[in-house]
Amino acid sequence: MAFTINEIENISNTTLDHHMRGQPESQSIQEKPLLAALKAKQKTFPGGKEYITGRVKNDYTTTFMGFDTDDTVTYRNPANIKTFQYAWKELHAGIQITLSELKKQGISVVDSLDGEETTQASAAEELILANILDDKLEDLDEGTARSHNDINWGDGTASAKIYPGILHFVALNPTTGVVGGIDRATNTWWRNRAKTAAKFAATGVAADNAIASSAANQTLTKTLRAELRQLRRYGGRPDLVLAGSGFIEKLENEIHEKGTYTQEGFASTKATDITMSDITMKGVGKIVYDPTLDDLGLTDYCFFIDTRHLTLMVMENEDMKVHNPARPPEKYVLYRGITWTGTMIAKKMNCHGVYQAT
């Protein structure tokens, strides 16, 4: 039997929907392996006028020469030291909430100067589906983590007030540009290794091009093994490998071509697991999927990073510093802020690499 319009309205006016309580379920939080790795190994500095500096050298002047009896010999005066410098930057993230918003959830601010203490009405639980204050604080936490991760992947062109990230140091085309005050165009030793379409376009050298993966020929696998030797050639020890989903899929195809899914084989009556173990390289570790690379349109790229020589530098006592500013007297608004002061530095370039698979 169909309901009349009046009956439907009566049901709507006398019946409540069932609302699930609890904080909102986030739909877009991703793993941030780069941020986690850099934060785990970040170093501190006490302060400074503007820059963090260091010394590097590549060329050597002194050489042996042959002599006999009273031959005249020569002496040389080495002068090959160069200085890199990276400016430290200040980052801020903050949220605000009005006392009126809190009151609607039965939350009362005890000390309205900075809102450090709140109380909740005893009957407020009947009104609250999700705690608005907890949600805003969670937004501050995840928002700063997400933003910091994006900054650490950046190329430094987004803002002069934000320090450059991985794509500035481990460039898709490392043949040009100034990094830390040293020109890569004239100092080839100050370049990361790269096999990408961007580098090929700049040099026209076939060996610089992206890697054409081949399950039959194992091209991608063999190239990575050969590149690892070159990354270690001058004392590098890459310990962080981050890749987009496309790169990992191409690598998996090569590995599957030469492997088997199970010992029983596909004809077995047992259940067949189509997954495979994590892909690793001896002495380097796991090749880690970083979703941010997909977001950046770099799904087919892989980055080898030596975290001893590319690291975050954070000012002492300024790492994710929490601020509770006093509210202005003319507004009943509470503020919460987080600041981070530091930069990313690289002391060696030829121990890092970026590789594109096609």
Q: What is the pLDDT of residues 288-323, one digit of tens each?
A: 999 999 999 999 999 999 999 999 999 999 999 999
The answer to whether 197 and 185 are in contact (CB under 8 A) is no
Per-residue pLDDT averaged across 259-285, rounded?
67
Tokens of residue 294, six digits: 């997909």
What is the C-alpha separation between 241 and 221, in angstroms, rounded? Answer: 14
- Of the pLDDT bands very low, low, confident and very high (cuts 50, 70, 90), residue 326 is confident
What pLDDT is stored for residue 126 in this prediction? 46
Kindly report, residue by residue over 44-91, the tens digit of the pLDDT.
999 888 999 999 999 999 999 999 999 999 999 999 999 999 999 999
Dihedral angle sign, alpha carbons of residues 148, 313, 167, 32: negative
The answer to whether 86 and 163 are in contact (CB under 8 A) is yes
pLDDT at 25 over 50: yes
What pLDDT is stored for residue 119 in this prediction? 57
Classify burial at 26, counting beta carbons within 10 Å of its beta carbon; exposed 0-12, middle 13-18, buried 19 or more: exposed
The answer to whether 309 and 142 are in contact (CB under 8 A) is no
The answer to whether 163 and 344 are in contact (CB under 8 A) is yes
What pLDDT is stored for residue 16 in this prediction? 52
- pTM for the model stands at 0.85
The answer to whether 88 and 342 are in contact (CB under 8 A) is yes
Q: What are the C-alpha distances in Å from 39 to residues 34, 83, 145, 314, 356?
A: 8, 25, 11, 10, 26
Kindly report the average pLDDT of the chain as a whole number.
87
What pLDDT is stored for residue 112 in this prediction? 57
- How much of the chain, in percent, has pLDDT values that exceed 90? 65
What is the C-alpha separation between 83 and 78, in angstroms, rounded? Answer: 15
pLDDT at 216 over 80: yes
pLDDT at 11 over 60: no
Kindly report, residue by residue over 118-176, the tens digit of the pLDDT.
555 554 454 444 567 778 888 888 999 999 999 999 999 999 999 999 999 999 999 99
Strand partners, 335: 96
What is the C-alpha separation between 345 and 49, in angstroms, rounded? Answer: 16
What is the C-alpha separation between 163 and 58, in angstroms, rounded? Answer: 26
Nearest alpha-carbon partner for 37 in 298, 322, 242, 243: 242
What pLDDT is stored for residue 139 in this prediction? 87
Nearest alpha-carbon partner for 82 in 192, 185, 180, 188: 180
- Of the pLDDT bands very low, low, confident and very high (cuts 50, 70, 90), residue 105 is confident
More confident residue, 321 or 263: 321
Nearest alpha-carbon partner for 240 in 293, 278, 209, 280: 280
The answer to whether 163 and 314 are in contact (CB under 8 A) is no
Break the chain into its structural domains and give their ranges: 31-58+81-356
CA angle 293, 195, 170 (to 5 degrees): 55
- Give the chain's length: 358
More confident residue, 334 or 176: 176
- How much of the chain, in percent, has pLDDT values that exceed 70? 82
- Of the pLDDT bands very low, low, confident and very high (cuts 50, 70, 90), residue 109 is confident
What pLDDT is stored for residue 262 in this prediction? 47
- DSSP track, 29-51: ----HHHHHHHHT-EEE---SSE
More confident residue, 91 or 5: 91
More confident residue, 161 or 25: 161
Strands 193-195 and 240-243: unpaired
